[in-house]
């Protein structure tokens, strides 16, 4: 098989995988949306931290606190205490303190699995495991 044929097959497979994922996203968006009307008197802003390193709470949380603002921290517990390219990840004590301060804690799956690529029963278990 020529290199061009191999590349053509790989491109077709990649294209089909992207199309499948796009269809799943579009279907979920169309069928699972629950739009709500928000009519605030003032503009809204949301400060969120996804898979956060400790500095997102220790530094950014301190800055938010200076202005009496709260944030939302999304957590995948399998990352707790690990090292990342952004530095050390959050510790259990950080979570307790951010909740004590009134910040919101958002739940990822425990192993940060991808919702489209994970069978439903494994995905549900990963959510439950992250809440434990």
Q: What is the pLDDT of residues 30-86, one digit of tens each?
A: 777 677 888 889 888 999 998 889 999 999 999 999 999 999 999 888 899 999 998
DSSP, collapsed to helix, strand or coil, labels residue 19 as: helix
Domain hosting 79: range is 48-131
DSSP category for residue 77: G
Provide the pLDDT for residue 129: 80
Is residue 41 situated within a structural domain? no
Q: What is the pLDDT of residue 36?
A: 81
For residue 77, count other CB atoms closer than 10 A to its CB.
19
Q: What is the pLDDT of residue 120?
A: 80
68 inside domain: yes
Number of domains in the chain: 2
Residue 121, number of CB atoms within 10 A of its CB: 8
């Amino acid at each position: 098989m020529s290199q061009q044929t191999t590349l053509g097959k790989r491109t077709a497979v990649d294209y089909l995988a992207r199309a499948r994922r796009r269809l799943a996203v579009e279907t979920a968006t169309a069928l699972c949306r629950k739009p709500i009307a928000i009519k605030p008197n003032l503009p809204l802003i949301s400060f969120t931290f996804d898979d956060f390193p400790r500095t997102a709470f220790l530094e950014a949380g301190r800055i938010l606190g200076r202005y009496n603002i709260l944030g939302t921290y999304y957590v995948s517990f399998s990352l707790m205490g690990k090292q990342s390219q952004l530095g050390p990840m959050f510790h259990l004590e950080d979570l307790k303190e951010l909740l004590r301060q009134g910040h919101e804690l958002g739940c990822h799956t425990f192993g940060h699995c991808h919702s489209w690529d994970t069978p439903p029963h494994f995905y549900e278990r990963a959510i439950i495991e992250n809440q434990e």
